Structure 1
């Protein structure tokens, strides 16, 4: 399967580079794009949700299976593993909404105002997502 069959089943798809897209993750209530999709030169399709959704959950939500992410192997070719499948620009595009959350709460705290319990939890979620973004770009 090419990435086209997957992308046709996703919302708010935006191309970010050659063989790279960001979009809403179908496995959770996504306000902004948190799913990064990348098609490698050998035809493999990589998925990464920066909100933490498992690939299987994403595939289930769009009615696909793991085999759909891999091209048919002809002649037993060995596929090389790629060390860093997501570049920093793709990660930052996916985390742009989280950056707004961090800025909003940083401004509130800088004014000396207290955060509600819900706001503190959301701030921690945004920080965790940023940490996860750092981890996937520094594999």
Structure 2
């Protein structure tokens, strides 16, 4: 078992990690198969590899999840990553163009116009129609909130 107090917050090197596993065999450059410590493994089912950015990737073909595999070694996901996982990802685009907002609003106002026309004729909306009317109002509000200025 790895000393998690010594490794906490540090990037564990793949060569150190595999020394604490059983029946390890290399399958390529910085790639290994080993017995999974999270279940009673008779033959190697745990793939360990190093990503292009130096992060350690693990996958148990028997179905164990990564946190359980690491817990069996006295580690957590945080012990494998020196930086947060999202560090290299660009922020997602939350804004929409005015044209996109206009198209959303146009579609939803059309639906609301039909509902209002039916209401004025004395028709009571069905429960499905009420759900769709509420959704239309929500879609309009979100489109306005997300419009880039």
Superposition deviation, residue 5 in structure 1:
2.5
The answer to whether the Cα contact below 8 Å between 1:38 and 1:45 also exists between their aligned partners in 2 is yes
Q: Aligned Cα RMSD in Å?
A: 2.1
Map residues 51-90 of structure 1 onto 2, 5 A cutoff: 51-72=62-83, 78=88
TM-score (norm 2): 0.48
Q: Does residue 1:29 correspond to 2:5, yes or no?
A: no
The answer to whether the Cα contact below 8 Å between 1:20 and 1:39 also exists between their aligned partners in 2 is yes
Structure 1 pair 28–77 and aligned structure 2 pair: CA distance change class (3 A): closer
How many equivalent pairs are there? 78
TM-score (norm 1): 0.51
Superposition deviation, residue 60 in structure 1:
0.7
| 2: CA distance, partners of 1:48 / 1:41 | 16
Structure with larger Rg? 2
Q: Does residue 1:39 correspond to 2:39, yes or no?
A: no
Superposition deviation, residue 33 in structure 1:
0.4
Structure 1 pair 77–27 and aligned structure 2 pair: CA distance change class (3 A): closer
1:86-128 Cα offsets, whole Å, 9 max, x none, are xxxxxxxxxxxxxxxxxxxxxxxxxxxxxxxxxxxxxxxxxxx
Superposition deviation, residue 71 in structure 1:
3.4
SS in 1 for 2:36: coil
Is there any run of 5+ residues in structure 2 with no aligned partner, and where? Answer: 1-11, 91-149
